[in-house]
A and B are shown apart, each in its own frame.
Chain A
Amino acid sequence: MSPQRRRAQYQDQITPGARVLVTGASGLLGRSVAARLAELGYQVTTLQRSPSGLSTVRDVRGSLTEAEPVETAVAGQDAVVHMAAKVSVSGRREEFEQVNIGGTERLLDAAWGAGVNHVLHVSSPSVAHSGSSLVGAGAGPADPVHAEGYYAQTKAEAELIAEARAEVGMKVLIMRPHLVWGPGDGQLTTRIIDRAKSGRLPLLGTGAPLVDTLYIDNAVEAFAAGLRHLPRIAELPAEQRRLVVTNGEPRPIGELLMGIAAAGGAKPPKLRVPPRLAKGAGAVVEKLWAVTGPHEDEPPMTRFLAEQLSTAHWFDQRHTRDVLGWTPQVSIDEGLLKLARHIRRTGRVLS
């Protein structure tokens, strides 16, 4: 089938049956999305270094930093859902650049070369913001200069690369999930519970800043909807095909932390650190970390985390919901119950 014919086939929706490559299916979100798409009837290929552990998909093993597995993975696909990224809050800049910028470029080049024309690029709200409070914010353009931290900076570059492909004819949808949590989440959820248990979870300042989050199940359904409607959304002006995705239930950060800690059976956090102090402390720790090299755990508090906890981060979801035809089915309170049940049953956050 020629590339031109394939493009014509998905003018409005990418429907089940289509062949889709999901990158980064070793993380919670990537694996869940891959599994869900397969369940919906898509022919799913995954690309990551370790096995996805899913029986319903075809795994291509490899890194985005290598040409060969990328080319193998994109061959014959109808669409790419690009979720792979280095998401850590610490590390050397080069590592972030190699995966987040170089990897994205390599993937998109390969896709273009293989006639794969539809790309769902997964990004982060942090690419457009510099650490001040966000209140009912929209999805502004990625800004690598003002984004804070290597992750956000390199993801901002990656998003600009993806946007540039849209200029030359690719069909690109950018989705920016914000703070995904839930059972199986080894990032935010596990860390909050572990720290709460060891008494290292700071409740910063008043704990009252409102923060948007996204329960994992809702995230998965949002990406499925994004893939399906990608051809239509990709025709919209640039600012309308960038979608921040959240539960649309901003909550005081202190209440969220206490809720997740409680779901994990930990005592509610008590510590209070004035935000400015925490930010200062975070910056120092981050530097020290970079000098002393990798440890097993992330640094106890980074500037990124301090800001997440002491400033508001919530978003206008009207356009996102409207254009995806999607609304979250699991509320935060229901999500907390599900998480608690999962942890009681399995004894841990990870599945």
Chain B
Amino acid sequence: MVSWWRPVPANRARLPHHALTETPLPGLDPGWSQLVTAKSADGPRTFHVLDTGPVLQARGIQPTGTILAVHGNPTWSYLWRGVLTNSLDRAEPGSAWRVIAPDQLDMGFSDRLAHPEPPSAGAPSYRRLEQRLEDLDALADALEIDTDRPLVTLGHDWGGIISLAWAMRHRSSVDAVTTLNTAVDHPSGEPVPPALRAAMAPGVLPASTVLTDAFLRTTLSLAEGGLNPKVAAAYRAPYVSRLGRGGIGGFVADIPALAQHASRSVLEEASAGLREWENPALLVWGPKDPVFRDRYLHDLLDRLPDADLHRFEGAGHLVAEDRNISEVLFTWLDDHFGERDAAPLSSSPPPAGQVLGLHEQLTELAASWRREASAVVELDASGSRSLSWQQLKEQVDVLASGLHELGIRSGDRVSLLVQPGNQLTVILYACLRLGAVAVVADAGLGLKGLTRAVRSAWPDWVIGEKPGLTVATALGWPGRRISVDALSPRTARLAGVEASVERLLRGNRSAELDRVPLPAGEHPAAVLFTSGSTGPAKGVIYTHARLGALVALLRRTFAIQPGASLIAGFAPFALLGPAIGASSVTPDMTVTKPATLTAAAVAAAAREGRATMFFGSPAALANVVATAEQLSEEMRRDLTGITLVLSAGAPVHPVLLDQVQELFPHAELHTPYGMTEGLLQADITREQIHQAMTAGQPGVCVGRPVDGVEFAVAPLDDLGRPAETLQNPEDTPGVLSEIVVSAAHLKAGYDRLWHTDRRSRRDHHRGLLWHRTGDIGHFDTAGRLWIQGRLQHVITTPEGPVGPGAVETPVDTLPEVSRSAAVGVGPAGTQAVVVVLEPADGEQLSVGSSPLARPEVSRRVREASAAVPVAGVLVVEALPTDIRHNSKIDRSRLAVWAAEVTAP
């Protein structure tokens, strides 16, 4: 017993707007508040409840469903004000959710209990989980919740546990469960998160939770970027005095971290119940939560494998404050309970050619007369190594056998922290064979981006090289560890490594492997990541069928024949080599830095791999051109065997293409258009680009759709917003629009981003399944697609929306300019265009040390951008770009900088 404890007396529930005279409650309508007395197990108790029922009634709207929202500790129903507001904004006859959000007993503005003793696990005056569930029962009765219509629970923190446990007990009445950050299980052996441990220590608990407001303040400080002070004050309002904080301590004391805790059995009842839950479930998560960390999310997902999840990267514990959770919630509810006609079933167009399993080419070639030919070749400073088709097939089977024996199963996620090369190819195809899902987060995301990507994908296994595994251990990445090279027992133990690819490859192909079925087409095969140049990298899921469709398309578009051999300067395509039946040559380069690929390295790769194709990114191509002087006559001859050069990842300057053509005199140069969500959508050759440029259209011409790809457009309005209704490209020539695409080889979905995925595929135009690319551009009357940039980079001038490309493409042709970026400054709808230049080598374009361009430079830029008025021209040493391609300009960052410089 804490000797300095002073008893807390009981107190009556109050209406917040009556109780508070000084503190405003921004966003909370007094009309939602009521006091409700319910018959709880230990007598009548009065609760403060937010309820939109009366408002709806006053509007003459009959609710079509009820949301019961339960807050956690140490918040109160104020947490749900956004949900209430949003529900009322959306309410209309025939579709209206009544939201009921009580303050839990001893919390918010509900009755305060008397506490003669300080909070502890055994202290009788504090509410326990079981009583809180009974309280909710009593409240539901008192409020006459309509169980004939859809009833949905919503929770957060402790409210997540309580609402889920309550739903499990009333599964016949509850139609869906939704929750924000929470946890329904804590392995009793494991330590509680350090952030909570401090507050829970028996000697500290009363002081940190009741006697002081430390726990309260710490929790409120978890909001992204800090809470608005008025909002923070509103959260604190019921807890400013020690006398109001008994419930906070009671909740912390009720955390059943230990097996013998009184609430443990109730929690276990709930967590076990979730496994049998068959109704819809939605999880909305803020991963930057020091308490409810991702492992609790994955425990929930494990129990609710069919739950929809939206994980707001960058948001934290107070995700309801950090992000618009209502938009996610109500869109989801509408999908499940909406009265509207169900969305028509949409499908992708047929694939461009016959879809083969990703192993079929490999198996076929390994058995053919080509079996001795090289399937994969890698070069580095020490020389070259290759595997024949037969060897590759054998290694894949042996490794798959070993991985299977180790426990990798169909559906397991395997993060591959391995440099592109022969080993990665073997590992990838072994995983695919088992039906495991390859998580391909590349170092091109940067360490921070990579960490975020791996955490979001939450792999069951990590296969990595030593540096990758060291980082994984240091940063606490999830997953069981397998190293590529065999490690010493001590190193392996330190890094938590269970096995090595090297050792597994020394084993044999097991007969067991024949009993592992080949994965089905709709089975996920891989998670790739977007480059993250426009917001956090998104995981993109591909199924075996969709990758198969991509393989068929590549074979068809680039007429790939047996004997073809490609130099992979661009990772995504390299991994598909075995699937398309081409041998893949990894040149000597730092793959994460495409600009390190030299002309000599390409020539060496061409010679060693008898390459017929070269796939590169624009940055790689630029460096190849820049280092062409190194080439000997012999090396130049090696390049003449290349008949196809393909540049992917970002647009390429025609001048650069001409220079590339000189190096590869026999090659046809293609610059396909695509994205991580659909790697190949349109295609154009160098000659066609030159032809298109005479048309004088804004942006970069990316050509015509490839086989099996359908395009649609969503025209932009004056504020740069894309239309909700799609149109056909041939009906809208020249209209700046968001580009929307449909194809068999598009993504299967975004990973753990339910709402993003839902938004990207919201269209049902022509009965097809579409993907909103986020790219903007237009089609010309000849059916060619011109890209002008990204949707979030649209400049909304008074004359209408403008894509950055409309300005940059002509400006980039100025000889004194290396590259340029156009950004908007000022309010949407009346923005001014600012062009930021990166000077060509040796050019001095600015006025002294100022970023302002010299007047004659500005004049030339304005002349070049004749169609779009340019307000100001600035100069920087180098434009910021993404790490992966070194070619996607970070215009959002530039726009912020330009706004500061032009308006200090």
Docked pose: A318 CA to B830 CA in angstroms:
8
A210 touches B902 (CB 8 A): yes
Known: A208-B902, A250-B871. A135 touches B850 (CB 8 A): no
Give 29 CB contacts A-B under 8 Å. Answer: A134-B903, A135-B825, A135-B826, A136-B826, A136-B830, A136-B831, A136-B832, A205-B904, A206-B904, A208-B851, A209-B902, A210-B832, A210-B903, A248-B798, A250-B872, A251-B871, A252-B858, A252-B872, A252-B902, A259-B855, A268-B855, A311-B904, A314-B826, A314-B832, A316-B798, A316-B827, A317-B830, A333-B859, A333-B862
Q: Do A272 and B848 touch (CB < 8 A)?
A: yes
Most buried by B among A206, A208, A312: A208
Instruction: Indicate whether A103 reaches chain B with its CB closer than 8 angstroms.
Output: no
- CB of B869 within 8 A of CB of A249, answer yes
Interface 0/1 of A269-281, CB less than 8 Å to B: 0101001000000
Shortest Cβ distance from residue B34 to the other chain A in the assembled complex, whole angstroms: 40
Q: Which of A208, A275, A333 contacts B852 (CB 8 A)?
A: A208
* Cβ contacts under 8 Å, A209 to chain B: 902-904
Q: Which residues does chain A contribute within 8 Å of B902, judged by CB atoms? A: 208-210, 252, 312
Task: Answer whether residue A207 sits at the interface, using C-beta atoms and an 8 A cutoff.
Answer: yes
B847 interface contact, C-beta 8 A: yes
Given contacts A210-B871, A311-B903, contact A136 B862 (CB under 8 A): no
Contacts of B847 in A (CB 8 A): 203, 207, 254
> B871, A208: Cβ atoms under 8 Å?
no
On whether the beta carbons of A255 and B904 are closer than 8 Å, the reply is no
Chain A: which residue is nearest B899 at the CB level? A135
Q: Known interface pairs A136-B831, A206-B851, A312-B902. Does A251 touch B826 (Cβ–Cβ under 8 Å)?
A: no
Closest-by-CB residue of B relative to A331 is B869
- Chain A residues within 8 Å of B832, by CB: 136, 210, 250, 314
With A135-B827, A317-B830 given, is the CB distance from A258 to B903 under 8 Å? no
Q: Does A350 contact B (CB under 8 A)?
A: no
Q: Of all chain A residues, which has the CB nearest B834?
A: A210
- B901 touches A (CB below 8 Å): yes
Q: Which residue of B lies closest to A254 (CB)?
A: B852
Residues from chain B with a CB closer than 8 A to the CB of A134 are: 903
In the complex, chain B residues whose CB is within 8 Å of the CB of A343: none
Chain A residues touching B, majority SS: mixed
Contact A208 B872 (CB under 8 A): yes
Cα-based distance from A323 to B587 in the complex (angstroms): 64
Contact assessment for A251 and B830 in the assembled complex, using a CB-CB cutoff below 8 Å: no
Is B444 positioned at the interface, with any CB of A under 8 Å from its CB? no
Inter-chain contacts of A268 with B (CB < 8 A): 855
B851 smallest CB distance to A (angstroms): 6
Contact of B795 with A by CB under 8 A? no
**B903 contacts across to A, CB distance below 8 A:** 133-135, 209-210, 311-312
**Shortest Cβ distance from B837 into chain A, in angstroms?**
13
Are B827 and A207 within 8 A (Cβ)?
A: no
**Does B654 make an interface contact (CB < 8 A)?**
no
Check if B521 is an interface residue, CB within 8 A of chain A. Answer: no
Given contacts A206-B901, A262-B855, is CB(A318)–CB(B798) below 8 Å? Answer: yes
Nearest B residue to A133, CB-CB: B903
- Which single member of A205, A248, A258 contacts B855 (CB below 8 Å)? A258
Q: Kindly list chain B residues whose C-beta atoms are within 8 Å of the C-beta of A136.
A: 826-827, 830-832
Is B580 among interface residues, defined by CB-CB distance under 8 A? no
Residues of B within 8 A of A254 (CB): 847, 850, 852
Interface residues of A in 273-297 (CB under 8 A from B): 275
Contacting residues, chain A, for B855 (C-beta < 8 A): 255, 258-259, 262, 268
Interfacial chain A residues near B851, Cβ < 8 Å? 206, 208
Chain B proximity mask over A310-348: 1 for CB below 8 Å, otherwise 0: 111010111001000000000001000000000000000
Which B residues lie within 8 Å of A270 (CB)? 848
Docked Cα-Cα span, A293 to B753, in Å, equals 70
**1/0 contact string of B845-885 vs chain A (CB within 8 Å):** 00110111001001100100000010111100000000000
| Bound CA–CA A272/B858 (angstroms) | 20
B273 contacts A by Cβ under 8 Å = no
Of all chain A residues, which has the CB nearest B874? A208
Per-position binary interface string of chain B over residues 745-758, scored 1 when its CB falls under 8 Å from any chain A CB and 0 otherwise: 00000000000000
